[in-house]
Amino acid sequence: MATLYDTANWMINNGTEVTNKKLQKLVYYTYAWFIALNNESKDNIENRFFEARFEAWVHGAVCPDLYDKYKKYGSKTIPCQKSASASFSADELDVLEQVRDVYDKYNGNELESICHQESPWINARAGLQPYEPSHNVISDADIYECYAARL
């Protein structure tokens, strides 16, 4: 199984001008689409691209651990990562490439706007004001329902 950081490194090294905000969304969409493509129902999610927790922050879906690792870059482009290349399965690589092909053309602010229109983030922020901080976890069941419906 790939890790959160393997996935982030792949996106940084294979994307265009990846900032922390953009990275958060690219990694989230990788996680989300993998769940939708590789599970049978929202009630039995066994297959995940990697283990992580995404929270419904003001600026969209965010994995706090990943945010902490790259926050030093602020809104600047994260430089390519010189690290050992992870070994991804054919299915994992397919999802990575599809997410990059669909979402890499957007900047972090555009991806934030897209995320704000989707039910997993909206559901996790129920009852909160748009500016109100949150550590509410985005549920895998909501992720599955949202993205599987698009298949």
**pLDDT average per 10 residues of sequence, the chain (151 residues):** 92 94 98 98 97 98 98 96 82 97 98 98 97 97 98 93
By residue range, what is the domain housing residue 135? Answer: 4-148
Global pTM exceeds 0.95: yes
Number of domains in the chain: 1
Look at residue 84 in the predicted model and tell me its pLDDT: 67
Q: How many residues does this entry show for the chain?
A: 151
Would you give the DSSP letter of residue 62?
A: E
Half-sphere exposure of residue 38: CA atoms within 13 angstroms, side-chain side: 16
Give the Cα separation of 96 and 16 in Å (integer): 14
| Residue 4, both tokens | 């959160």
CB atoms within 10 A of CB 133: 10
Give the Cα separation of 73 and 54 in Å (integer): 20
Which residue type sits at 126?
A: A
